[in-house]
Amino acid sequence: MARAEKKMGDSSNCSLQLLEGVDIPAEIAVPSGHELKEAYYAEGLQHYVFNGSAWVVFNATATLYSVEGAAGNYTKVGGRRLVQAAQKKYRCAVGQHFFLGRPDPAGGQPSWETILPAYSLVTARSLQAVTVDPRSITWNLFQATSYSSSQDVLGAVTYLQRLASKGGLPPLASLGAQFGDIHVTPYSIIYAFYVEEKQ
């Protein structure tokens, strides 16, 4: 694994602090020529449906938080250093994460929307996933398939990473599950957003 890059564009120091100490696997490294724009802590739910033989994720709903004043406030979680963003005194809700009702023309469905400090929306598709903690959902590299509105926030994002996951897995067993059953699992995570480097 490689320690999170310190390279950043116009992102805030808080975004950089949020990624401090996060070891990013090479399999989900962002391609060269891109730099960190924003990073948000998120808490929410992973939504699963039973298709008759397995639990399949069909949605995720989460609140995105900007983490302020959290430098030096860390906790050890599963061998990783994670900002204590769960403490409300360090966070401010800025948007939400959700899935589109159906994939967009480029295959993107997971979406991230901000309302603060400005409205922006990015949709993406997963390129690569790696299991870092077998008790939690995978860490992922996403490529943006569409974006809109403020380029000062997420409006020009090219790649995203899903990092430092905690929880979110489907049920371990399907015994007794019926076709169409729904299950939701709490999770927390860091989402990092990247843009093309300025020339």
Average pLDDT over residues 5-16: 55
pLDDT of 12: 53
What type of residue sits at position 185?
A: T
The pLDDT tens digits of the residues spanning 78-123 come to 333 444 555 566 678 999 999 999 999 999 999 999 999 899 999 9
Rounded CA separation 167/185 (Å)? 7
Q: What percent of the chain has pLDDT over 90?
A: 67
**Which distant-in-sequence residues (6+ apart) come within 8 Å of 130 by Cβ?**
25, 27, 28, 138, 139, 140
pLDDT of 14: 67
The pLDDT tens digits of the residues spanning 28-45 come to 999 999 999 999 999 999
Domain-wise residue ranges, the chain: 2-196
Residue 19 has pLDDT above 90, yes or no: no
